[in-house]
Structure 1
C-alpha cells in the first residue's frame, strides 16, 4: 500500500518542474516608438510639402488671385480647429490613441488624391477643407502625449526628433515632386497620393503597441473642473499659446507665399522652387533635435526667444537678396524659425499643465494658434495683391519679432514636468 501511495503521489506531484508559461510579449522600447511616430509624422507633412510646391501651378490652372488663395487657407484653418478639438478630447478619453493616429494618415491620403480630379477651384477648396477635418493636425495631440508620457526627462529632444520626421518629409517632398512636375501635371501627382498614407497606416497598425493614456491622478476632481483650473485660467499656458499663435502665422504664410514669390518675382521653375522649399524644411530638420536638446539643458524661454528673433530677421530679409547663392542660405536658415522652434513651444506649453489633461492643453494651444491664422492668410493675400509679394515677408518678420518679445514676459511654469506623477 505504501508503494501504491508513493506511485499515486508521484503521479500527482511529478518530480519534474511544470512547463514554463509562454513569455509575455515585450513592450517595444521608447526609442522604437519614437521612430515610428516620427515616420508617421513625416507622412502627414509629405502632403503639405507637395501642396506648397504645386501652388503656383494650381493658382495658374484655376486663375485665382492671391486674396482668394489666402481666403482658402483661412477657411482651411476652420477645419483644422475642428480636427484639433476632436483629437484633443479623444486623446484624453479614448483608451487607445493608436486609432487616432491611423485615421489621421488614411483620411487625408484619400481626399488629397481626390483633389487631383477637381474641376473647379470651389471643388478643390471643398476637398482640401474636408481633408483637413481629420488630417495632419489630428496627429499631433495623441503623438505628443505619447512622447510626453515616455520622455518626461527629455521631452524637448524627443519632440524635436518627432518634428524632424515631419520636417524631413517636408524637405524631400518639394524637391522630388518639383522635379516630377516638369514631366507630369499636378493633378497626376495628387491622384497617386493615397499610397503613402495607407501603406504607412498599415505598418503602424502592425508595429505600434497599444498607446493608452495616462491615468488620472485626481480621482475626486472632475474633468471639467480640471479643464477650467489647469487650462482655461492657466495664465502661463495662455501666454505660451499666444506665442505659438504668432509663430504659426509665419508657419502658414511662408510655405504659401514663398513658392509664389519664387515663381512670379524670381521666375523660377518648379524644380528650383522645390529645392528652395526643401532647403527651408531641411534646416529645420537638422536643427529640431539640436534646439530641443538646448532647451532641455538651458531652458525653454531663452531658446524660443533666440530662435524667433533670428528667424524673423532672416525671413524678413528675403526680398533684399537676389536669387542665387545668396538667397538660398537665407531661406534655408529661416527654416529654423518655422520648423525647429515649434516643438519647443509645445513642450513649454505642456510643462504648464498636468499630464492627465495634456490632450486638452494641446487642444487649447492648437486651437489658439489656428485661430491666429484664420485671418492672416487673407490679410497677407490682400497685401500681396495691393503691394506685392515681398511685403508678406515683412509682415512675417513683424509678427515673429512680436512673438519673441512676448515669450520674455510669460511666467514660469507653475506645474513643472518633473514634479508630475507618472
Structure 2
C-alpha cells in the first residue's frame, strides 16, 4: 500500500562530517563510471580502424551500450525501490561488474564478442544510477536539483578526463590494454564506496522505506504518475535531448579523425571540451532550478543548444569549432539532471525514486537506441559532418516540446511536504 511521506532533509540527524564523506564518495565514484564510459568514445576510432569497421557497425556498438544500460537501469530502478535498504551493496556491485565488463571487451578477439561484452559493461555501469541518485535525493530533498547536478558534474569530470587519458594511453599502449586497466580501478573504488556507506552510519543505511508492498502496488503507484502530461513531457524532452547529445559525443570524434585527420590526443581534447565546462555549469544550473523552477531553465538551455548547433553547421572546423564545442559543453548534460530532479519531485512520497531514474534511463535508451544507427546510416551517405545538422534539428524539436512542460513541477514536492 502506498504511503505518502513528505520530504524532510535529514542532514541534521547525523554528524556533518559523516554526511560529507559519504555523499562525496558516492558523487566522486561517479567520476570513474564516466571515465571509462566517455573514454570509450576516443577508443572507438582505434577499434573502428583496427577492426576495419563501417560507420553503421560503430553505431551498433553505441546502440548496444545504450540499450543495455537503459534496460538494466529500468529494471534496476524497480528493484532499488523494493530493496531500499540494500542500495549500498548495489553501488559496490555496479562498479565492480562494470570493470569486469570492460576487462572482457579488452580480451575478446571478435567484433560480435565485443558487442556482447560492451553490453555487459554498459548494463553494469548504468546500474549505478538508481541507487546513487535515490540515496542522494532522499538525503538532500530541499537541494535535490543541486545535488543531482553535482552528481552529474562529477560524471562530467570523468567525461572530460576520460578522453584525455584514453587519447594519451593510445599513444603508448593498445586500446585492448587500456580497457583491461578498468578492472583494478573499479574494484578499488567499489571498496571505497562500501567503506563510505558503512561510515555514514544508520542515517544512510536506513534511508528510504522499509514498507512491504507488492510489485502490483508499486506498478500501480508508478502508473498513477502518467495521469496528466507532466511526466510524459519530461520523458520526451529528456529522450530527444539525449539523442542529440549522444550523437555529438559518438560521432564528433569520428568526424574529427576521419574527415579532419586529427590525431587521437587532439580528438580527446575536443571530447573533453564537450564536457569540461559542465563541471561548473551543471551545479550552477541545478541550483537555479531549485530556486526559480525546472521549466524556465530547461527551455532556455534547449534554445541555447539549438543556437550553438546552428553555428557548428556554419563553422565546422578550426578554432571556431573548438570554441563552439567548449560552449556546448557548459550546458551539455544539465537538462538530463533537471528532468531527473523533476521526475523525482513528481514522485515525492511514493517511494519511487529508483523507479523514476530507471524510467528516465529506459526512455532515454529507447530514444537513444535509434539515434546511433540512424546517424551511422546518414554518415555513410553524407559523411560524418552531418552530425551537426542532425543534432541541431533534435535540439530545436526539444526546445518546442519543452515549452509544453507544466510550470512549477518542483511545487509537487512542496505540496507533499
Query: What is the TM-score normalised by the length of structure 2?
Result: 0.89
- Residue 198 (1) aligns with residue 187 (2): yes
Deviation at 1:411, TM superposition (A): 2.2
- Residue 97 (1) aligns with residue 75 (2): no
Deviation at 1:166, TM superposition (A): 0.6
Equivalent in the alignment of 2:283: 289
- Residue 314 (1) aligns with residue 308 (2): yes
Match runs of 1:107-186 below 5 Å: 107-135=97-125, 137-186=126-175
Greater share of helix: 2
Alignment check: 8 A CA contact 1:96 1:213 kept: no
User: Aligned pair in 2 of structure 1 residues 235, 212: CA closer, same or farther (>3 Å)?
Assistant: farther
- Residue 280 (1) aligns with residue 267 (2): no
Equivalent in the alignment of 2:400: 405
Deviation at 1:163, TM superposition (A): 0.9
Q: Distance in 1 between matches of 2:211 and 2:106?
A: 48
Q: Deviations over 1:339-396 (max 9, x none)?
A: 2332112111211112411222222222111111121210000000001111122111
2:352 is matched with which residue: 346, 357, 379? 357
Alignment check: 8 A CA contact 2:340 2:356 kept: no
- Residue 344 (1) aligns with residue 338 (2): yes
Alignment check: 8 A CA contact 1:285 1:339 kept: no
Q: Distance in 2 between matches of 1:313 and 1:217?
A: 48
Q: Deviations over 1:23-74 (max 9, x none)?
A: x995854333331121111111011122011111110011111112212322
User: Aligned pair in 2 of structure 1 residues 217, 310: CA closer, same or farther (>3 Å)?
Assistant: farther
Deviation at 1:219, TM superposition (A): 8.1
Q: Distance in 1 between matches of 2:40 and 2:213?
A: 45
Q: Tell me the secondary structure at the aligned position of residue 109 of structure 2.
A: coil
Alignment check: 8 A CA contact 2:48 2:54 kept: yes
Q: Deviations over 1:53-111 (max 9, x none)?
A: 11111100111111122123223333123211222012201122111111110111111
User: Aligned pair in 2 of structure 1 residues 74, 340: CA closer, same or farther (>3 Å)?
Assistant: same
Deviation at 1:316, TM superposition (A): 4.2
Equivalent in the alignment of 1:262: 256
User: Aligned pair in 2 of structure 1 residues 273, 148: CA closer, same or farther (>3 Å)?
Assistant: same
Deviation at 1:284, TM superposition (A): 1.2
Q: Distance in 1 between matches of 2:392 and 2:335?
A: 15
Q: Tell me the secondary structure at the aligned position of residue 234 of structure 2.
A: helix
Equivalent in the alignment of 1:327: 321
Alignment check: 8 A CA contact 2:63 2:369 kept: yes
Q: Distance in 2 between matches of 1:92 and 1:234?
A: 23
Deviation at 1:305, TM superposition (A): 1.1
Equivalent in the alignment of 2:8: none
Alignment check: 8 A CA contact 2:146 2:290 kept: yes
Cα RMSD of the aligned pairs, angstroms, is: 2.3
Q: Distance in 2 between matches of 1:39 and 1:335?
A: 20
Equivalent in the alignment of 1:304: 298
Equivalent in the alignment of 2:6: none
Deviation at 1:271, TM superposition (A): 0.7
Equivalent in the alignment of 1:87: 76
Alignment check: 8 A CA contact 2:286 2:337 kept: yes
Alignment check: 8 A CA contact 2:294 2:410 kept: no
Match runs of 1:372-383 below 5 Å: 372-383=367-378
Alignment check: 8 A CA contact 1:315 1:331 kept: no
User: Aligned pair in 2 of structure 1 residues 316, 115: CA closer, same or farther (>3 Å)?
Assistant: farther
User: Which runs of 5 or more structure 2 residues have no equivalent in the other structure?
Assistant: 1-12
